[in-house]
Amino acid sequence: MFDESFVRAARIQEFSARERLSGTARAVRTRPPWSRAAGNPQAFALLLLMVLAFGTAVYLGLRHPYRGTAAPDVDPARITLVRLAPQGVVAAAPGASARYPVGADAVTLPDPRATAHFSSTQVFQALVLAKEYVVASSVRPDALTGGDVRQVRALLDPGQLDQFDRSLARPADDGQHAATGWLVRFDPTRVALADPAVRVRGTVTVHERGDQGLEVVTDHTLEYTVRAADARSAPASLFTVRRQLRLYFDEEDLRERRLQLQQAAVEAGPLACGVDAAGYFRPLLAGQSAPSGPGIDPQDHAVPIASGCGLLRAAPTPHPSASHPRPPARR
């Protein structure tokens, strides 16, 4: 005996006695699938799921979730790299220098003040991100000699990541792709840090660039105590880098905790004038002197103006604040 659900799900249906008396030629008729589904809740649910699945597939095909997004329109960083050649033989490093404070704590920040279009909280956020970049790119030992650039890269606007990656993969002193413009790093096959403590002195300033963003300028001189990588007993020497960075933040950068490096001006030495310093710094170490370099030919347009060399002053200029210390800045 057939139950009601079986009868309702049948593909054919017998005409009723009244329909047969009306003169139909056939004894049975074929039932459309939707009428069968209507009589069978399970079949109807299955049909509804199939329709929904098909609709979803069409929607996702039109709006592909993995479609690549265009990189933001961000200006490339401009990089100027100046090598500083020593005057004579490089001296061994003296004892602990008291001239500069040490490490991340030495990167002090001014008091954040609201601007016309940005709150004091936003200004403070820009200052903190600028400090994080300075520390990650010039103070942390694992970035200086270990090649770990993840913290530096994570702070950059996505629109500059291709430029950053190319600078590390194929560095060139062309005004845009010197890796040593993005961060301080030494050739680990030749140079090691004799002392992981980096001495830092400098300033951080911030101002508004219209209603679109904030610009933070960091200007620091950093001293590194270095030695030959393969000679632990070799005397150490000092390597000095001055970095002036122009960092830009729009509102989206502040929300996403990232920045745009707009300009990096770097002076570093002691280096030989002819050495390639775009990928790594390869300092002249204690007891070495600068070989006579090729000099700069202003008629040679094949050499970018970003390339340059000067003389490293033997005695550093006294810091004006040494005799008139400023009140402590915010850290």
The residue from 15, 36, 62 where one domain ends is: 62
pLDDT at position 234 is 87
Residue 90 is assigned to a structural domain of this protein: yes
- Residue 330 domain-assigned (yes or no): no
**56 with 82, same domain?**
no
Q: Which of 180, 210, 151 is nearest to 275 (CA)?
A: 180
What pLDDT shows up at residue 27?
A: 56
More confident residue, 147 or 286: 286
Rounded to two decimals, what is the model's pTM?
0.73
Residues 190 and 281 grouped into a single domain: yes
Alpha carbon distance 308, 316 (integer Å): 20
Helix (H, G, I), strand (E, B) or coil at 212: coil
Kindly give, in sequence order, each residue whose CB lies less than 8 Å from that of residue 268, ignoring residues fewer than 6 positions away. 81, 82, 83, 84, 180, 184, 239, 240, 241, 242, 277, 281
How many angstroms separate the CA atoms of 81 and 264, rounded? Answer: 8
Task: Find the length of the chain.
Answer: 331
Q: How many CB atoms lie within 10 A of CB 143?
A: 20
Q: Which domain holds residue 21?
A: 4-62
In a shared domain, residues 37 and 85 = no
Give yes or no: residues 290 and 248 share one domain: yes
Q: Is the dihedral of CA 103, 224, 244, 264 positive or negative?
A: negative
Identify whether residues 57 and 157 lie together within a single domain.
Answer: no
Q: Which residue has the higher pLDDT, 88 or 16?
A: 88
Residues 40 and 104 in one domain: no
Query: How many secondary structure helices (H) and strands (E) does the chain include?
Result: 10, 8
Higher pLDDT, 223 or 147: 223
- pLDDT tens-digit profile of 257-304? 999 999 999 999 999 988 899 999 999 999 999 876 555 666 676 766
CB 86 within 8 A of CB 269: yes
Q: Are residues 197 and 287 in the same domain?
A: yes
Q: Are residues 31 and 95 in the same domain?
A: no
Which residue is associated with the tokens 């632990």?
232
Q: Count how many domains the chain has.
A: 2
- Averaged pLDDT of the chain: 81
Query: Tens of pLDDT along 181-228?
Result: 999 999 999 999 999 999 999 999 999 988 889 999 999 999 999 999
Report pLDDT for 319.
56
- In a domain, residue 329? The reply is no
Same domain, 10 and 57: yes
